Amino acid sequence: MSESRKIKVLVTKPGLDGHDRGAKVLARALRDAGMEVIYTGIHQTPDDIVNTIIQEDPDAVMLSMLSGAHNALCPVIMEKLKANGIDDVLVGVGGIIPDEDKPLLKKHGLQGFYGPGTELKEIVEFVKNNLKR
């Protein structure tokens, strides 16, 4: 990553989950760490998210999910990214992700799983240290 431009991160809420406080707190922490942040808001479909990724070209995407739909939505998002030739974007997920679900999500290319109580600096460091570009 060139020092001349900021890391760009998309923070988004897939599915019907309306609890967005954590996503907003994360967006602010990433911004305060010097990153450019795009927050799409709640109720984003996989197509909405992938279209935003195509348009905004972020370095990383942080999905925030508390609804329990991660096993249904995350693989679809990752498959749509692959179908669009996008394989150089770091994708992490925060929220309620049981340990037994993580292998499936990792198989689809997701990295970084952050539940309630995770220190924000840990997530900031994850983004900084795991970029694919």
Q: What are the pLDDT digits (tens) for 43-77?
A: 999 999 999 999 999 999 999 998 889 999 999 99
What's the rounded Cα separation, in Å, for the pair 132 and 81?
Answer: 14
Q: What is the pLDDT of residues 95-109, one digit of tens each?
A: 999 999 999 999 999
Q: Is the pTM of this model over 0.85?
A: yes
Q: What is the pLDDT of residues 12-40, one digit of tens each?
A: 999 988 889 999 999 999 999 999 999 99
Is CATH 3.40.50.280 what the domain over 8-128 is classified as, yes or no? yes
What's the rounded Cα separation, in Å, for the pair 109 and 125?
Answer: 19
What's the rounded Cα separation, in Å, for the pair 95 and 20?
Answer: 10
